Amino acid sequence: MVRQINRLTARTVATVKEVGRYADGNGLYLSLSKNGGKRWVFLYRSAGRIREKGLGSAAAVSLKDARLKADEVRKQLSAGLDPINEGRKSQGVMTFAQCAKAYIASHEAGWSNPKHADQWRNTLKTYAEPVIGKVPVNKVDVSHIMNILDPIWRTKTETASRVRGRIESILDWAAVKKYRSSENPARLKGHLDHLLPRRQKVAKVQHHPALPYKDIPAFMADLRTREGTGALALEFTILTAARTNETLGAKWDEIDLESKVWTVPADRMKARVLQAQPLSDRSIEILKSLSTDTEYVFPGNGDNNPMSSMSLLAVLKRMNHSDITTHGFRSTFRDWAAETTEFPNEVVEMALAHTVKNKAEAAYRRGNMLDRRRVLMDAWSDYCSQPVGSPDD
């Protein structure tokens, strides 16, 4: 049966008022919206689903011209092309910089640390955009990537690795959006790893400078003579083996003083998993010494703002310990547990909220081991508080 075409008339187009689609035949429709707007659309099937390509407003495109546009769409379909994708190409492909901006905008709401978006923008602006910022994203190739990475791979290896990964993510996003179709030139495994020396060969992993665990009792004794919320926040961070952002973002509704548990929500944890952290008696003392009239446990400028990480670094500086970082105390805790205690590794790792890569160990650690971790954190607190020069020091 021959499909009927040219069903509509110019009068019908001008007078129809009921919301809906009106078929002219063979894919062309007049679409009338609730607000009275009329436009031409072409419906076709692609990859098992119906797609709709707009052909313009009926106020600007006549019935005759709409049929001519529909003929062009049919020719593209006959040639095996997707009319919507072809339309995007005709409008001009997005540049890499435009794709980078769109990628960051669509992902930053899901990043736990607000600084991540700025880090992405800054590194891409510094290293990638001078080379490929204005290049159409479907034209970015291996030579572009090598021009970006070669100057910094050996001297700024960590930065170069992050830049490469960010470029790879943006180009993958562009491919999903149909802005490019070729292989991702920023892919490392089985691709750039044939052109670049291994990271381990050109740069050693830089660990956060840490205080030797034997020096903790003397350090803690000095810290407890310091005044200010910054000193208390630093001590609390050490006693809980927490990451800096976990402490600074702590809110009072996360603290259960009676049960002596601090529940850190998943969106502030590196592994994106909620962490119930047992609190030692000294940690509870610190919390009870603070005002509960603020949203944040350790407020910064204004009651509704968290303390800055610079406040903790300032405490270390005043104590003549600019050579170590707040994060480094997690390593101090790990070394103390390994060298001086018999706590199982899985208990210590869970106290540090480390992600488990070993599937067997991950299955073993389905629970949160709260009671066992409480014993561990109490022992750590006791060690930090022991008199300087004691036999265990």
pLDDT tens sequence across 203-218 = 454 455 788 999 999 9
Above pLDDT 70, what percent of the chain? 88
Q: What pairing do the DSSP bridges indicate for beta strands 261-264 and 299-300?
A: unpaired
> What HEC string does 185-223 produce?
CCCCCCCHHHCCCCHHHHCCCCCCCCCCHHHHHHHHHHH
Half-sphere exposure of 20 toward its Cβ, with a 13 Å CA cutoff?
5
Give the residue, 111 or 250, on which the prediction is more confident.
250
Cα 16 to Cα 10: distance, rounded to the nearest angstrom: 10
Count the Cβ atoms, other than its own, within 10 Å of residue 197: 12
The residue among 90, 125, 142 that closes a domain is 90
Question: What's the average model confidence in pLDDT over 371-385?
Answer: 94
Q: How confident is the model at residue 1 (pLDDT cuts 50, 70, 90)?
A: very low
Amino acid 362: pLDDT:
46
Q: How confident is the model at residue 167 (pLDDT cuts 50, 70, 90)?
A: very high
Answer yes or no: is 1 within a domain: no
**C-alpha distance from residue 42 to each of 9, 48, 50, 69 (Å):** 17, 16, 10, 9
Backbone dihedral region for residue 48 (phi beyond 0: left; psi -120 to 50: alpha; all else: beta): left
Answer yes or no: is 327 within a domain: yes
Give the residue, 288 or 344, on which the prediction is more confident.
288
Say whether both 31 and 110 belong to one domain.
Answer: no
Q: Which domain holds residue 364?
A: 213-385
Amino acid 196: pLDDT:
81
Give me the helices (H) in the chain, please.
Answer: 10-15, 63-78, 83-90, 96-107, 115-123, 129-132, 142-149, 157-176, 199-202, 216-223, 229-240, 244-248, 281-288, 309-318, 328-340, 345-351, 359-364, 370-385
Contact 362, 356 (CB under 8 A): yes
Say whether both 45 and 122 belong to one domain.
Answer: no
Question: What's the average model confidence in pLDDT over 79-87?
Answer: 73
Beta-bridge partners for 306: 299
Cα 384 to Cα 393: distance, rounded to the nearest angstrom: 9
Cα 199 to Cα 59: distance, rounded to the nearest angstrom: 61
Amino acid 210: pLDDT:
82
Amino acid 67: pLDDT:
93
Q: How confident is the model at residue 368 (pLDDT cuts 50, 70, 90)?
A: low
Amino acid 288: pLDDT:
95
The residue among 52, 70, 90 that closes a domain is 90
Answer yes or no: is 325 within a domain: yes
- The CATH number of residue 343's host domain is 1.10.443.10
Amino acid 9: pLDDT:
92
Question: What's the average model confidence in pLDDT over 267-286?
Answer: 86
Our count of domains for the chain comes to 3
Amino acid 317: pLDDT:
93
Question: What's the average model confidence in pLDDT over 212-241?
Answer: 94
Q: What is the mean pLDDT of the chain?
A: 85
Amino acid 364: pLDDT:
46
- The CATH number of residue 53's host domain is 3.30.160.390
Say whether both 191 and 223 belong to one domain.
Answer: no
Answer yes or no: is 3 within a domain: no
Amino acid 222: pLDDT:
95
Say whether both 82 and 167 belong to one domain.
Answer: no
Q: Find, among 392, 343, 382, 391, the residue nearest to 239 by Cα.
A: 382
Say whether both 198 and 217 belong to one domain.
Answer: no
Q: Residue 94 pLDDT more than 90?
A: no
Say whether both 86 and 103 belong to one domain.
Answer: no
The tokens of 304 are what?
């509704």
The tokens of 90 are what?
């005709």
Q: Residue 31 pLDDT more than 60?
A: yes
Amino acid 302: pLDDT:
67
Q: Residue 386 pLDDT more than 80?
A: yes
Question: What's the average model confidence in pLDDT over 57-71?
Answer: 90
Q: Find, among 159, 353, 163, the residue nearest to 245 by Cα.
A: 353
Say whether both 44 and 176 belong to one domain.
Answer: no
Q: Find, among 171, 88, 181, 189, the residue nearest to 132 by Cα.
A: 171
Amino acid 57: pLDDT:
87
Question: What's the average model confidence in pLDDT over 259-288?
Answer: 88
**C-alpha distance from residue 230 to each of 19, 71, 164, 237, 244 (Å):** 64, 71, 37, 11, 12
Q: Residue 365 pLDDT more than 50?
A: no
Phi, psi angles (nearest 5°) of residue 39: -150, 160
Say whether both 68 and 120 belong to one domain.
Answer: no
Cα 175 to Cα 183: distance, rounded to the nearest angstrom: 9
Answer yes or no: is 373 within a domain: yes
- The CATH number of residue 187's host domain is 1.10.150.130
The verdict on pTM exceeding 0.85 is no
Q: How confident is the model at residue 2 (pLDDT cuts 50, 70, 90)?
A: very low
